[in-house]
Amino acid sequence: MSMKCEYCWLGVYGDLIRETENWKIYLAPNQMYLGTCVVVLKRSSRNLMDLKRGEWFDFVEIVKKLEFGLKRAFNPTLFNWSCFKNAAYRNNPPNPEIHWHFIRATK
Ligand SMILES: [Zn+2]
């Protein structure tokens, strides 16, 4: 089990709950904030600038669905989307996997 990033609890993404053409959506193991998800690009890519248009379009639809769903369920104040790659670059050669952490927050 390799450490994907310091925000991936126990180094795993969690349980796969949905899949689109370009992304996999996991329910994160850490559910301190219910609904926390990890959205992982299916293909290997080092940087966000390398994402293709179709992958961004696909991602936007995921953002809409997840935010809408959690807004209905929990009515949070805001949503955080973060993309970290530090841990992947501690390996040589670095092997980052582009993935987003989606966490709702309430004031
Ligand atoms: Zn992570």
Whether the per-residue pLDDT at 57 is higher than 80: the answer is yes
36 CA → ligand 1 middle, Å: 12
User: What residues does the ion ligand 1 have nearby, CB within 5 Å?
Assistant: 4-5, 7-8
Ligand 1 centroid to Cα of residue 74, in Å, is 23
C-alpha–C-alpha distance, residues 14 and 38, integer Å: 8
Residue 45 Cα, ligand 1 centroid: separation in angstroms?
A: 15
> Using CA atoms, how far apart are residues 82 and 91, in angstroms rounded to an integer?
21
Domains of the chain from N-terminus onward: 9-105 (3.30.428.10)
The answer to whether the CB of 13 falls within 8 A of the CB of 40 is yes
**Structure confidence at residue 11 as a pLDDT band (50, 70, 90):** confident
For 92, residues 6+ apart whose C-beta sits below 8 A from its C-beta are none
pLDDT score, position 87: 67
Give the separation between CA 34 and CA 86, rounded to whole angstroms: 25
Name the percent of the chain lying above pLDDT 90: 66
pTM comes to 0.88
Residue 26 binned pLDDT confidence (cut-offs 50, 70, 90): very high
The pLDDT assigned to 1 comes to: 40
